[in-house]
Amino acid sequence: MKTKILLVDDNPDCRKIFGLYLRYMGYELSEAKTGREGIERAKSACPDLMILDLGLPDMSGLQVLALLKQDSRTAGIPVVVQTAWAMDNIRTKALQAGAAAFLVKPTSPIVLNETIKMLLDQTISTSHAGLPPREEYTQLATR
């Protein structure tokens, strides 16, 4: 069974490029263009992992993240925030809101894949409990 990933990004070029990467890496992909659509897809598709942009047209990615983490149906989904907003305060807010990793666009396919594998390995081995501190998840993003 393929790993299911939900990609939430309003930019069609980003969805196309990262969609190609993710499908090439062997993941089953679903996509959303808005925060609300992403939340609904997360509830209905039960992805193994989400990749979330912060700059969405209807609500911020931070708001989406907060709503996902408040809902028992989506709280356990690891969320990789992937954004062009590279400020430290944004990274801190995303991690505090429950992001499992923070990547700055443009993200290399290798770093994206390593991040996904690391998070999925952690999720499987811990069943969403006892995960290492979030800062450990961001090491790949700071190379």
CATH of the domain at 59: 3.40.50.2300
Q: Please state, in angstroms and rounded to a whole number, the distance separating the CA atoms of residues 17 and 15.
A: 6
pLDDT along the chain (143 residues), means of 10: 94 94 94 98 96 96 96 96 88 95 91 94 57 40 38
- Reported as half-sphere exposure (CB side, CA atoms, 13 A), residue 55 has a value of 9
Q: What is the pLDDT of residue 124?
A: 59
Burial level of 111, CB count in 10 A (0-12/13-18/19+)?
A: middle
Q: Decide if 18 contacts 112 (C-beta within 8 A).
A: yes
Total of domains in the chain: 1
Q: What is the pLDDT of residue 94?
A: 95
Domain range for 75 is: 4-142
